[in-house]
Chain A
Amino acid sequence: MDVEIVDGSLHSGAPDGPIETQWDRHRFDMKLVNPANKRKYNVIVVGTGLAGGAAAATLAELGYNVQNFCIQDSPRRAHSVAAQGGINAAKNYPNDGDSVWRLFYDTVKGGDFRARESNVYRLAQCSVNIIDQCVAQGVPFAREYGGHLANRSFGGAQVSRTFYARGQTGQQLLLGAYGSLMRQVDAGRVKMFARREMLDLVVIDGHAKGIICRNLVTGKLERYVADAVVLATGGYSTAYFLSTNAVNSNATAAWRCHKRGAYFANPCFMQIHPTCIPLSGPSQSKLTLMSESLRNDGRIWVPKKKGDARPPADIPEDERDYFLERRYPAFGNLVPRDVASRAAKHACDEGFGVGATGLAVYLDFADAIERVGHENVKQKYGNLFDMYEEITSESPYERPMRIYPAPHYTMGGLWVDYNLQSTIPGLHVIGEANFSDHGANRLGASALMQGLADGYFVIPYTLGNYLAQTTPGEATTDDSAFNEAEANVRGTVDRLLAARGKKTPREFHWELGRLLWDNCGMSRTSDGLKDTGAKIRSLRDEFWENVHVAGSGEELNQHLEYAGRVADYFELGELIAIDAYHREESCGCHLRLDHQSAEGEAVRDDENFSHVAAWEHTGDLSKPRMHREKLEFENVHLAVRNYK
């Protein structure tokens, strides 16, 4: 699996000088579009989540004509809606020592020093504006009795900086952005295209100028042209089959952009969330996440004896191993996600797992109930407990929860520069779809922050800078590039429908998911990774031979939609495996078993791997080209993450 490696080809374009003033100086240096000219520009925004919805609304507020696309029936259903816990911001309302600098520091450190400092600093700066904006929109954040905003603490931070709206923060923030978006639809500045799936990017003379969509109701392919394209299509955890993502979340739009020339950065940086409800049976379609805030009061343990099948209540205190508290006395059950996930998987791999599958650990609230009372626990976690009971028919008040880690968020994504522009000029990528801010591990409550920062406060400036250097309305849908892209999409659709094989896309997806979970999950080995790419490749070949897709292309056909997404997971999956193989270090969310300390802790290799691995599509899926962007840490000094 030798690949060509190129250094020095990628430039972040981040300004020099002190990090505190970079964004201010950059905003001054960027070109502006005259207010009267903005309406002459058309912008395509794909996705309506926190990043896409906020971007579409904000660009329209500025005066651009926006065409906004989503695969759901309504922009309000984008998967940002499912985020439970909260959103970080360096407001320092609790007066406990927070600052923009500390949020920046925590995020870089939490990301295990694999994020770009300049982007992260800007993110921390924007965080304070986000809260102002959302409150002004009427987002009902939790309040103190005095009427001021409440905060709670989250994993990976020692200050309280997380704003929340019950367990539905993502929903409330999304509805805020959705409201702003709908206001612009009413004003005629945004044209909304729901139930459209972007299936290709149209590049004309090296610039992104349009997209090909499949109208999911009629099945017809449609062409849309613009002066720039903003991609906000989320992450690709669903490649792993079982994840906490929505069943329609997918990698297709981003992947098709990659195949048009956008580099894919750090695809193997995949976050595993520690507190999910474990797998119960073969029909399961996804794993349900439960807010990490549960770890504030729950204690995680497994029996000390392997395969101990006694009910948890019958296992005496001295026969329980509270492994997080034992291994990380300072942070205990509040260690960052990756540490908690890995420890849980480790316990199960060693045979200490509980439940019918042995793939679960206990999260126990008995102590909390004894300490603060049933009522207080109910007030804090009531809805989460109810959700758990709905799914498992077990009451967490009486019996410890069973939890297990699950793929949850992808730090990797399309490579972008400081302006959030990909390697294709005019194609900007925001939110989870890009790679920029979380390094190798994202801290809790930071995804919402990034999506909204990109959408409300970064892309409105940086896209203007790009547009100011272009002539509006240059491209038309008659361009041969549109013909070629549409023919390309049609070819894929026809090929999927023509196979008429024996296996369903779901069966293939399941097998691919197993391969990725086993080899490109939390713990990885060179040996395992060496031939994962080849296994994915042969499964992919079988897929194209033997997949069976029902129905036709000229109708609403969810089966065809799904098959197309699975086809892209196969290509992306191989890149994930290649990237994972070439990152010969433990870092962030993943542990390479050949790179760990004597105590089983992750060992980073800063000398050789302090870089972003951005992959270029060469036409041969097995031979992508790696471009390395060297990461410099001038403000946060490289250190071993230590949560002991």
Chain B
Amino acid sequence: MTDAENTRSYKLRIWRQPDATSSGRLVDYEISEVGADASFLEMLDQLNENLVKKGEQPVAFESDCREGICGACGVCIDGRPHGPVTHLTTCALRMREFKDGETIVVEPFRANAFPVVKDLIVDRGAFDRVIERGGYISVNAGSAPEANMLAIGKDTAESAMDSAACIGCGACVASCPNASASLFVGAKIRQMALLPQGQVERTGRALAMVQQMDAEGFGDCSNHGECEAACPKAISIENIATLRREYLRAAFRS
């Protein structure tokens, strides 16, 4: 099956916004000869090539690795972050998921904590600032003990890895009706809380990261669980339950 035998046309409605301070609007485009195996971003690449050739401004969108791990890409497609398929990044979404002739609405990951920079690009610096406040174990290079001094149960390591798999794309925030970052923050707190290395700073980490999360203007969580469905790495809202436990625990330890 090659592209030539199986191409489609789409009507696109894309959010265009020249910069952070201007207002934006949805603009209609048409595109044809899109290969079924092309990724959603490759379809946008193709649109941009057409736009440039017509002397128009290409659509700005973010992407990098294009294999679902860097977390750079992400747009809302017909109201769903990363599109209709669960547990997939936008770059891994293929056009075969869309019917020929369909209208597709493409909008940015929307949250006040993620201000739009241009078109479909948003600023997710808030995530970095939350991590800054404690999303790590403080260990200087050179001061680590021999790695196998510390036995960590296979199940514990695997469970920590489930949380550590977060790619920081922000789909959890975008999908959340409240624009909450609880899944992102919970995943990091849980990873560290599970591991013996994370115990020393456990209390302060939970308190500081939650404080920063709130300061960034993310909304509160109402347990809709939409984030878990939108998360490309299927990170469970168990992490949010852990976040609450860890925060409560900190109440008694701080």
Asked if A and B form a direct contact in the complex, defined as CB atoms under 8 angstroms apart, the reply is yes
Q: Within residues 252 to 283 of chain A, which ones have a CB less than 8 A from any CB in chain B? A: 280-283
Stretch of A163-171, A367-375, A429-437, A600-608 contacting B (4+ beta carbons < 8 Å): A163-171
* Contacting residue for A79 out of B34, B70, B94, CB 8 A: B70
CB of A495 within 8 Å of the partner chain: no
CB of B148 within 8 Å of the partner chain: yes
* Contacting residue for B128 out of A75, A140, A392, A551, CB 8 A: A75
Q: Within residues 178 to 229 of chain A, which ones have a CB less than 8 A from any CB in chain B? A: 178-180, 182-183, 185-186, 192, 194, 217
CB of A81 within 8 Å of the partner chain: yes
Stretch of B49-57, B98-106, B235-243 contacting A (4+ beta carbons < 8 Å): B49-57
* Contact present for B94 and A550 (CB under 8 Å): no
Stretch of B131-139, B171-179, B222-230, B245-253 contacting A (4+ beta carbons < 8 Å): B131-139
Chain B positions within 8 Å of A249 at CB level: 64
In angstroms, Cα B66 to Cα A132, docked, is 31
Stretch of A100-108, A284-292, A313-321 contacting B (4+ beta carbons < 8 Å): A284-292
CB of B164 within 8 Å of the partner chain: yes
Chain B positions within 8 Å of A132 at CB level: 144-147
Minimum CB–CB distance for A175 against chain B, Å = 7
In angstroms, Cα B178 to Cα A266, docked, is 53
Chain B positions within 8 Å of A556 at CB level: 19, 60, 117-118, 121
In angstroms, Cα B49 to Cα A513, docked, is 18
Contact with B along A553-567 (1 / 0, CB 8 A): 001101100000000
Chain A positions within 8 Å of B18 at CB level: 555
Q: Within residues 33 to 60 of chain B, which ones have a CB less than 8 A from any CB in chain A? A: 34-35, 37-39, 41-43, 45-46, 48-49, 51-53, 55-58, 60
Q: Within residues 453 to 510 of chain A, which ones have a CB less than 8 A from any CB in chain B? A: 456-457, 460, 504, 506
CB of B71 within 8 Å of the partner chain: yes
* Contacting residue for A82 out of B65, B127, B138, B146, CB 8 A: B65
| Nearest residue, chain B, Cβ from A503 | B53
Chain A positions within 8 Å of B168 at CB level: 74, 76-77
| Nearest residue, chain A, Cβ from B195 | A138
Contact with B along A70-84 (1 / 0, CB 8 A): 001111110101100
In angstroms, Cα B112 to Cα A343, docked, is 53
* Contacting residue for B37 out of A136, A147, A281, CB 8 A: A281
* Contact present for B151 and A146 (CB under 8 Å): yes
In angstroms, Cα B142 to Cα A137, docked, is 12
CB of A638 within 8 Å of the partner chain: no
CB of A98 within 8 Å of the partner chain: no
* Contact present for B2 and A283 (CB under 8 Å): no
CB of B192 within 8 Å of the partner chain: yes
CB of B125 within 8 Å of the partner chain: yes
| Nearest residue, chain A, Cβ from B63 | A247
In angstroms, Cα B140 to Cα A61, docked, is 6
CB of B68 within 8 Å of the partner chain: yes
CB of A36 within 8 Å of the partner chain: no
In angstroms, Cα B157 to Cα A98, docked, is 25
* Contact present for A182 and B147 (CB under 8 Å): no
* Contacting residue for A145 out of B124, B135, B147, B154, CB 8 A: B154
Contact with A along B145-189 (1 / 0, CB 8 A): 111101111101110110011011000000000000000000000
Chain B positions within 8 Å of A93 at CB level: 148
In angstroms, Cα B165 to Cα A151, docked, is 20
In angstroms, Cα B50 to Cα A506, docked, is 12
CB of A548 within 8 Å of the partner chain: yes
Chain B positions within 8 Å of A526 at CB level: none
* Contact present for A72 and B145 (CB under 8 Å): no
Chain B positions within 8 Å of A146 at CB level: 151
Chain A positions within 8 Å of B64 at CB level: 72, 77, 79, 246-249
In angstroms, Cα B60 to Cα A456, docked, is 36
* Contact present for B66 and A247 (CB under 8 Å): yes
* Contact present for B121 and A280 (CB under 8 Å): no
* Contact present for A179 and B137 (CB under 8 Å): yes
* Contact present for B136 and A137 (CB under 8 Å): yes
* Contact present for A137 and B38 (CB under 8 Å): no
Chain A positions within 8 Å of B41 at CB level: 285
In angstroms, Cα B122 to Cα A27, docked, is 45
Which interface residue of A185, A280, A387 has the most chain B CB atoms within 10 A?
Answer: A280
CB of B30 within 8 Å of the partner chain: no
CB of B214 within 8 Å of the partner chain: no
Given contacts A138-B137, A246-B65, A548-B52, contact A147 B58 (CB under 8 A): no
Given contacts A280-B35, A283-B43, A390-B88, contact A77 B145 (CB under 8 A): no
* Contact present for B137 and A168 (CB under 8 Å): no
| Nearest residue, chain A, Cβ from B71 | A77
Q: Within residues 486 to 545 of chain A, which ones have a CB less than 8 A from any CB in chain B? A: 504, 506
In angstroms, Cα B240 to Cα A213, docked, is 40
Minimum CB–CB distance for B187 against chain A, Å = 11
In angstroms, Cα B70 to Cα A175, docked, is 11
* Contact present for B167 and A288 (CB under 8 Å): no
In angstroms, Cα B148 to Cα A137, docked, is 14
Minimum CB–CB distance for B33 against chain A, Å = 9
Chain B positions within 8 Å of A178 at CB level: 131
CB of B75 within 8 Å of the partner chain: no
* Contact present for A147 and B117 (CB under 8 Å): no
Minimum CB–CB distance for B76 against chain A, Å = 17
* Contacting residue for B144 out of A136, A170, A186, A506, CB 8 A: A136
* Contacting residue for B42 out of A81, A283, A548, CB 8 A: A283
Minimum CB–CB distance for B136 against chain A, Å = 3
Given contacts A74-B128, A135-B150, A140-B164, contact A129 B144 (CB under 8 A): yes
In angstroms, Cα B127 to Cα A182, docked, is 11
Given contacts A79-B65, A138-B191, contact A133 B38 (CB under 8 A): no
CB of B13 within 8 Å of the partner chain: no
Minimum CB–CB distance for A447 against chain B, Å = 15
| Nearest residue, chain B, Cβ from A60 | B140
CB of B78 within 8 Å of the partner chain: no
* Contacting residue for B161 out of A133, A140, A390, CB 8 A: A140
CB of B11 within 8 Å of the partner chain: no
In angstroms, Cα B193 to Cα A140, docked, is 12
* Contact present for A91 and B63 (CB under 8 Å): no
* Contact present for B37 and A391 (CB under 8 Å): yes
Chain A positions within 8 Å of B135 at CB level: 179, 182
Chain B positions within 8 Å of A324 at CB level: none
* Contacting residue for B157 out of A129, A140, A357, CB 8 A: A140
CB of B220 within 8 Å of the partner chain: no
Minimum CB–CB distance for B38 against chain A, Å = 5
CB of A149 within 8 Å of the partner chain: yes
CB of B12 within 8 Å of the partner chain: no
Given contacts A77-B70, A138-B197, contact A282 B3 (CB under 8 A): yes
* Contact present for A246 and B70 (CB under 8 Å): yes
Minimum CB–CB distance for A189 against chain B, Å = 12
Contact with B along A368-394 (1 / 0, CB 8 A): 000000000000000000010011110
Minimum CB–CB distance for B205 against chain A, Å = 11
Chain B positions within 8 Å of A306 at CB level: none
Minimum CB–CB distance for B157 against chain A, Å = 4
Could you list some 25 contacts between A and B, CB below 8 A? A77-B72, A135-B197, A137-B197, A138-B198, A141-B157, A143-B156, A144-B154, A146-B151, A165-B164, A171-B69, A171-B165, A172-B164, A175-B164, A179-B131, A179-B135, A194-B125, A246-B70, A281-B37, A283-B3, A285-B41, A286-B66, A356-B2, A504-B52, A550-B52, A559-B48
**Chain B interface residues toward A at CB < 8 A:** 1-4, 18-19, 34-35, 37-39, 41-43, 45-46, 48-49, 51-53, 55-58, 60, 62-72, 88, 92, 94, 96, 117-118, 121, 123-125, 127-128, 131-133, 135-148, 150-154, 156-158, 160-161, 164-165, 167-168, 191-192, 195, 197-198
Given contacts A77-B65, A77-B168, A356-B1, 18 further A-B pairs with CB under 8 A are A73-B72, A79-B64, A79-B65, A79-B70, A133-B144, A135-B144, A138-B136, A138-B137, A141-B157, A143-B158, A148-B151, A176-B136, A246-B70, A281-B35, A283-B42, A285-B42, A387-B92, A393-B37
